[in-house]
Structure 1
Amino acid sequence: MHKKKLSFLEWINYIKFFKRKNDFCLKNVINIAKKLDLLHFFSFIFVVGGTNGKGSVCYILEKILLYSRYKVGLYTSPHLISYLERIRINGFHLDKDWHVLAFKKIEEARQSLKISYFDFITLSALFLFKYFKVNVIILEVGLGGKLDATSIVANDISIITNIDFDHKEILGKTRFKIAHEKAGIFKKNKIAIIGEEKRIPKSIYSTAKKLNTSLIRVNFEWFYEKKENTWNFISKKWKFYGLPYSNIPLINISVAFAALSKSNLFVDTNFLKKKLFPINIPGRFSIVQENPRIILDVAHNSHASFYLSKEIKKISKKYLKIYAVIGILEKKDFDGIVSNFFGIINKWNFILLNQNEKKFIDRVKKNLFFKDYKFFFNVQNAWNDIFLSVSKKDLILVFGSFITVSKVMNILKININK
């Protein structure tokens, strides 16, 4: 294959099957980064890890820093509609030709070294950020932290949004082990923002002590307070009172505020208090239509679905019925995800996503609180079925995997790649 002449789509198809020769080693990724001088930047770097809320924190950081006149590079994953969503510079997605340029450079440096798809595209993002000379880089961790490609850069501030159970087969089956993996993004003599509101596992403290990383923790070094109609953020540097509520979890907004307050970057605090809200992030409690109201959310683990269920319950009395279109990958905590919606959802349309059909149906049926449900092999059929009975006064909630939400976005012709 003559790689110099590959189109953008041909490159995507070429790299999507890449795997590391050794899943427990970043050596090849680091070697490629060294060749291209991608380990050290003049840019200020945030690396954002955690179980949930990573994308929201990244988006909020980007929005505030752009308003504060910085040239910002943002790298997130996964994408909803197309690969182009993964990298933004100054709030815009790049033309495909720029991605092709980055792919060529990474491939030339890679030669025969074995790396994964995620490693490859992370390196390409770093290449583009250096090429465009951005002032600030925001990197969302793909999985864990310790072995993630985003951990190779010398970040200024590490962020862990929370620590919960997900990807247990890779990260470990205890919060101690999961936290140890996530703390792999900590850097020596730097700062780490911790948004975990439960008891913080000892592995966070031991890693921080080893690296002399300064931990800035919620309810210790910074706080957020809920009031009846407003909320407050309080840290040593910033004290904001009477902030308006948002559809984004306050803890995620607060994590971003805490990180910015410790960054020493110039921030237009007037923007934080008056112009930040409302916040609309694709696939995160996205209201995309009215009459009937349609909400999309990529809640794909029990922690995220718990928050989503609370938000839906708050507004449930406004609607005659609430319909759910849900697709969950086989390894996810099905019971933990759906049980949060007991007494909230009237009708369920379950989508079989590469699962053992009998096993999945048995899992649904054992949950006796389901009264009205159907099974479908694709999102389109599940979606079409909803409209046989839905009225303008109902609510349709689409949630679960990114696959499910992205397919509904395609059905609704929602374009976020602008």
Structure 2
Amino acid sequence: MSHPSFNQPSSLEGWLQYLESIHPSTIDMGLARTQDVFARLKLDFSQITVITVAGTNGKGTTCTFLEQALTQLGHSTCVYSSPHILDYRERLRCDTQMLSEAAHCQAFARVEQARGEISLTYFEFGTLAALVLIAERQPDFAILEVGLGGRLDAVNILDADIGVITTIDLDHQDWLGNTRELVAAEKAGIFRQNGVAVIGDAQPPANLPEIVSKLNLDASWQGKEFSYRLEDGRFYWQSHAGISLCGPRPAIPAANVSTALCVLERLGKLPSLDVERLLSEVKVVGRCQMVGEHPSVLVDVAHNPQSAGYLLEQVQGFSAKQVHLVVGMLKDKDIQACLLPFTALSPNWYLAPLGGPRGASSKMLADLLPKGQKVLECQSVKHAYQQALQNAQAEDLVVVFGSFFTVAEVLEPSVQ
């Protein structure tokens, strides 16, 4: 069905504004509407190996490692992930490249025609458009990152050949529940009866093994079927099948590399992989990314306690004379649990507000820090970043974190 009165946008920006206008809420959990439109689109995924990746943290890095490994082996890939940092087109990479704005516009038009009277959220519409583009290209592998949860996420309309859970922690409690067990049940929704599963959380919630057993999954668990260790700047990986690999310590979390290597083992791809080269080259935009030196500048999208804890470990590995923290966060995050561990560094804090109804003010952040911290409340992320750079000495470290929005403001070309 088409919309006779609908003036089709002529640009990607126009389409994105339209997507924001057509549904009353950003999140509307449930798959029925998306499944109906997907059926109307008649997309063929029968020849594509689908890997779906869920988890609280580590989804993006796991997807990127899989993408770079499969590319090295000569396979065609499409990776769908969210959110983007600077450019909407970042959400879909085909053979490691973004597609043209025109390609995205054509896919949006196809979804618009197919949806008829069915209401779709921004994320659902975007996911269906990405699936249109993937189906058109027929890659060997489609690697799909779950946006929120798993069971009711739009990505879950496809049956995965391998379902992956990276980590399970508390985030998005309003939608996923306030215990790790409730979160695990939502994320395990990506699994299918008798399917293949890889679980990267070495300390999974107690109910996850029960769910895996009930679904009769062929599951590989971090710490059981596969494991890793870091020693003297090297990464070592072992599987129960007897495969041992090693290489330089990667720039992304080792636990996610370990999980991705198990997925590659399940696909039968490990014997041909140049792990040494892959581990030395793999990196992900916005994840422990170095963007400056003298002073060193590290940016990371960490926005929940687990990811903030990992970032703190990385920061402690620097021999910085003084640490300067540029922070902007959303108020529906556990702000205090993210920030308090960093007080041990005796840092200089540069706190910035984020816009929109979900953004926390700089005062809100400051009020959650203990008395006696060196705090500067700034009018914007850009202002906070500029103040930090101005105050930092050459041997200091500036760290920008707290949200995708925070990192995006610093990575904009005009700010560098």
Q: Give the TM-score taking structure 2 as reference length.
A: 0.92
Distance in 1 between the 2:66 and 2:396 partners? Answer: 34
Correspondence list, 1:45-194, <5 A? 45-194=50-199
Distance 1:207 1:366, change over 3 A: closer
After alignment, is 135-144 or 205-214 more displaced?
205-214
Kept in 1, the 8 Å contact 2:339–2:369? The answer is no
Kept in 1, the 8 Å contact 2:343–2:373? The answer is no
Match of 2:48 among 40, 43, 46: 43
Alpha-carbon deviation of 1:382? 1.2
Alpha-carbon deviation of 1:229? 3.2
Correspondence list, 1:261-272, <5 A? 261-264=265-268, 266-267=269-270, 269-272=272-275
Distance in 2 between the 1:239 and 1:48 partners? Answer: 23
Kept in 2, the 8 Å contact 1:330–1:353? The answer is no
Say if 2:214 is the partner of 1:213: no
Unaligned runs of 5+ in 2: none
1:399 partner amino acid? F
Alpha-carbon deviation of 1:210? 3.3
Kept in 2, the 8 Å contact 1:195–1:217? The answer is yes
Distance in 2 between the 1:159 and 1:150 partners? Answer: 13
After alignment, is 240-249 or 353-362 more displaced?
353-362
Distance 1:247 1:412, change over 3 A: farther
Identity percentage over the alignment? 30
Distance 1:175 1:131, change over 3 A: same
SS of equivalent residue, structure 1 residue 343: helix
Counterpart of 1:390 in structure 2 is 392
Alpha-carbon deviation of 1:141? 0.2
Distance in 1 between the 2:36 and 2:240 partners? Answer: 40
Counterpart of 1:368 in structure 2 is 370
Say if 2:329 is the partner of 1:328: yes
Distance in 2 between the 1:274 and 1:358 partners? Answer: 41
1:272 partner amino acid? V
Distance in 2 between the 1:347 and 1:292 partners? Answer: 14
Kept in 2, the 8 Å contact 1:163–1:179? The answer is yes
Distance in 1 between the 2:164 and 2:300 partners? Answer: 23
Counterpart of 1:348 in structure 2 is 349
1:347 partner amino acid? N
Distance in 1 between the 2:248 and 2:316 partners? Answer: 20
Kept in 2, the 8 Å contact 1:230–1:244? The answer is yes
Counterpart of 1:302 in structure 2 is 305
Deviations 1:209-252 (A, max 9, x none): 33322221011111112323323111134623442112211100
1:156 partner amino acid? D
Kept in 2, the 8 Å contact 1:65–1:267? The answer is no
Kept in 1, the 8 Å contact 2:352–2:362? The answer is no
Distance in 2 between the 1:297 and 1:357 partners? Answer: 18
Q: Give the TM-score taking structure 1 as reference length.
A: 0.92
Unaligned runs of 5+ in 1: none
Alpha-carbon deviation of 1:377? 2.9
Alpha-carbon deviation of 1:294? 0.8
Kept in 2, the 8 Å contact 1:299–1:305? The answer is yes
SS of equivalent residue, structure 2 residue 78: strand
SS of equivalent residue, structure 1 residue 388: helix
Distance 1:37 1:233, change over 3 A: same
SS of equivalent residue, structure 1 residue 329: coil
Distance in 2 between the 1:342 and 1:101 partners? Answer: 49
Alpha-carbon deviation of 1:363? 5.5
1:372 partner amino acid? K
Q: Tell me the number of residue pairs that the alignment of Structure 1 and Structure 2 aligns.
A: 410
Distance in 1 between the 2:371 and 2:227 partners? Answer: 38
Deviations 1:353-377 (A, max 9, x none): 2479998636634532652111123
Kept in 1, the 8 Å contact 2:298–2:398? The answer is yes
1:321 partner amino acid? Q
Kept in 2, the 8 Å contact 1:380–1:411? The answer is no
Kept in 2, the 8 Å contact 1:194–1:217? The answer is yes
Alpha-carbon deviation of 1:335? 1.1
Say if 2:241 is the partner of 1:234: no
Match of 2:317 among 311, 314, 319: 314
Kept in 1, the 8 Å contact 2:51–2:163? The answer is yes
Kept in 2, the 8 Å contact 1:322–1:347? The answer is yes
Deviations 1:3-39 (A, max 9, x none): 4453221111101234389934311111111111237
Alpha-carbon deviation of 1:124? 0.8
Distance in 2 between the 1:380 and 1:330 partners? Answer: 19
Distance in 1 between the 2:75 and 2:246 partners? Answer: 27
After alignment, is 353-362 or 50-59 more displaced?
353-362
